[in-house]
Amino acid sequence: MTRLWTPAILLILLNALLNWRILLPGVTVYRGSIESGYAYMGKIFAANPDYLSWNPLQYCGIPMHFVYLPLVPYLDALFMRLLPDADATNVHRVVCSIAVFIAPAFLYWLLRDWTGDTRLGVWSAIALTFLSPLYRLIEVINLDRGVLKVPWRVQVLIKYGEGPHGVGLVFFLLALLFVRRAALTGGRNVLYAAIALAATVLSSWVAGLALAFAVLMLLFVHLRDAEFHHRRVILSGLIGYGFACFWLTPSFVAQMAYNWPQDAFGFQFQRIERVSMIAWAVALLVIRAAFLRFPSQRYLCWILLCGFGFGFPVMLFYRYGINPFPESRRYALEFELFVILVWVACVRMLRAKPDWRWRWAGMFVLLMGLLSETPHVVKYTTHFYSAWKPVPVRDAKQHKIAAAIAALQPSGRVFASGETRFRLNAWYPVAQAGGVFESGLKSRTALALAFQLRTDLGIPAGHEGEASVHLLHALGAEYIVVHDATSDDFYRDFKNPKKFEGVLEKAWFDGGDAIYRVPHFRFALPVTAEELPRGLAIDGDRNPWKKYSEAIADPARPQLDFTWRTARYAAITGALQSGSTIAINVPHDPNWHAYINGRPVPLAKTAVDMMTAGPLPADGGRLDLRFEPSTEEYACAAISVFTILGAMIFFLRKRS
């Protein structure tokens, strides 16, 4: 046991020693990082753990269930509950940094368990700690190193903010360890494998899909292996889905699958992508066929299959701009892992040969790898993160803008662009018309309106300000944050930031950053059928939002107050007349239900995914909106509960 744990502990301490400064609190030098977007998720789940409720903070509203995968946000939320005064982004960074520290130790455990070779496991983990061959293989990535020379797996976290992928990689390695054990020995390992499989998928879609491929390749290399029981692996997968079913409902998975290609830089599955995918599959078959005569080399076959399987689409994307799969580039982390494993395994295998020529070949492979990586390793181990000097949150310009928004105490939404959009909700619970991650959106109206608002595409020249006000009314915005060319915001994504001058009141400004007040916002108002928009985009003289915007600004229109009472309940109060139709500026969802005086009110989905309630069956002073979980969600939650109970019974019986 000591021989098993000692190298793992030393590896964790080594990685912590090399990278401990990334734990320092504050706003980092990497302004384009999306880590604050992930931190907001932890913050909102800390405030409201009910995943079957509604989240009004982003994209005009979205079900909590569809915000993102739950493991990292709930883990962040746990620590935020324990440390209520800690900055959400710092908490999230610490959680994800721990995954960076422990990943090599998990790799060591996996390889030692598979091969029985402690040295192979240790050297592979050390190589993962120090080396980063991706910089040599892909010039685009090499040119995007930033101010710190760190391995790619660390860069993914500190520069881009993709922490959940790193967390998923840890569970990826753990799942592979237990899946293989389950296939060989069964018993409790089937249950452990199921837990690790579920944890991987609930951490990161990319890590989950990478794990699915790696497990398929594991099954592939063990075909006709009598000692490897494929049915146990399948059983682990089914139990794992039972654990994760509460979140991975059929509707959730279908929505993610629908959004995924749209969010993947306009992915299109055309002829070149189809040919690439076929070539990819054929090459995998060829690699496997080449090892049919060497059944004892299943480990080498597996890492070659995985290395090619991840590397081929990654290299196609970065070298030729071909995207065989949506977001192929994101598997670079797994590609680098298996490049390192192949290199170490080849050196180890060649050095073990009795023929001196093979041993010298192994030495040559080793030296070539070390020489190519020496410049990177020297810079990585000597910079001591000297350029990593996070600015205290209160002193950061981004926080000053967010604090100015919060000080205005908006009742409506805020349309924020640039860095503010990513960071605002990590600090303040202010409702936004936009947001951070689109993968779970059921309505893309907010995205389409935001795009036209920033670009003015289709809006007649000279009418940009007026048309933009119509779009802001459509989004229920009370304030809009604009960064002009003189701002130090990382994005500055407005084509014409001056179009609001003289059109909207400037509520706050500091240099190139300004907050404008939008008059006459409303979340609910009585409308006629002609006033409801029938299209999204303004196109020349065709403005589908003009009549709706005029209705919002109409002072004679009865004023209705919209109030969130809980995360599952909102109330509209005011003069509600029988027969009237109420337009509600909340995205439609089948879980919404409306009641007046206890009587159900029909809710309809408009052409732009808004909701209308009515015709109202009676006069009243309050219209209740209740977000009621679906039968599917309750059924999937029940499946997870029964799976967990069954697993506990199995575990206790095995123990007794």
pLDDT (0 to 100) of residue 656: 58
In the chain, the percentage of residues whose pLDDT exceeds 90 is 79
Q: What is the pLDDT of residues 555-577, one digit of tens each?
A: 999 999 999 999 999 999 998 99
In the chain, the percentage of residues whose pLDDT exceeds 70 is 99
pLDDT (0 to 100) of residue 1: 57
Answer yes or no: are the C-beta atoms of 320 and 275 closer than 8 Å.
no
pLDDT (0 to 100) of residue 548: 95
**What are residue 436's DSSP bridge partners?**
none
Token look-up 């020995």 returns: 185
Please tell me what DSSP assigns to residue 27.
B
> Of 132, 33, 29, nearest to 387 (Cα)?
29
Residue 307 has pLDDT above 60, yes or no: yes
3-state secondary structure of 465: helix
Helices (H), 321-412: 332-351, 356-382, 397-407
Answer yes or no: are the C-beta atoms of 600 and 607 closer than 8 Å.
no
Q: What is the pLDDT of residues 189-215, one digit of tens each?
A: 999 999 999 999 999 999 999 999 999
- Name the residue with higher pLDDT: 424 or 540: 424
Burial 244-275 (b: 16+ CB within 10 A, else e): bbbbbbebbeebbeebbbebbeebeeeeebee
pLDDT (0 to 100) of residue 621: 84
pLDDT (0 to 100) of residue 362: 84
Residue 359 has pLDDT above 90, yes or no: no
pTM over 0.85: yes
- Mean confidence (pLDDT) of the chain: 93
User: Which amino acid, 108?
Assistant: Y
Residue 366 has pLDDT above 90, yes or no: no
Confidence of residue 417 (pLDDT cuts 50, 70, 90): confident
* Alpha carbon distances (Å) from 157 to 26, 103, 239, 391: 15, 13, 31, 18
Q: What is the pLDDT of residues 65-85, one digit of tens each?
A: 999 999 999 999 999 999 999
Q: What is the pLDDT of residues 123-157, one digit of tens each?
A: 999 999 999 999 999 999 999 888 889 999 999 99
What lies within 8 Å, CB to CB, of 196 at 6+ separation is 171, 174, 175, 177, 178, 179, 240
| Averaged pLDDT, 512-539 | 92
| Averaged pLDDT, 570-598 | 93
Q: What is the pLDDT of residues 12-36, one digit of tens each?
A: 999 999 999 999 999 998 988 999 9
Residue 489 has pLDDT above 90, yes or no: no
pLDDT (0 to 100) of residue 265: 65
| Averaged pLDDT, 389-418 | 94
Q: What is the 3-state secondary structure (H, E, C) of 421-457?
A: HHHHHHHCCCCECCCCCCCCCCCCHHHHHHHHHHHCC
Confidence of residue 437 (pLDDT cuts 50, 70, 90): confident
Confidence of residue 122 (pLDDT cuts 50, 70, 90): very high
Answer yes or no: are the C-beta atoms of 218 and 172 closer than 8 Å.
no
Q: What is the pLDDT of residues 209-268, one digit of tens each?
A: 999 999 999 999 999 899 999 999 999 999 999 999 999 999 999 999 888 877 776 677
Answer yes or no: are the C-beta atoms of 429 and 56 closer than 8 Å.
no
User: Which amino acid, 498?
Assistant: K
Answer yes or no: are the C-beta atoms of 640 and 245 closer than 8 Å.
yes
pLDDT (0 to 100) of residue 95: 97
pLDDT (0 to 100) of residue 248: 97
CATH 1.20.1070 fits domain 540-566+569-627: no
* C-alpha–C-alpha distance, residues 475 and 472, integer Å: 5
pLDDT (0 to 100) of residue 535: 87
Structure tokens at 13: 């301490």
pLDDT (0 to 100) of residue 269: 81
Q: What is the pLDDT of residues 147-156, one digit of tens each?
A: 889 999 999 9
3-state secondary structure of 21: helix
Residue 140 phi, psi (nearest 5)? -60, -45
pLDDT (0 to 100) of residue 89: 96
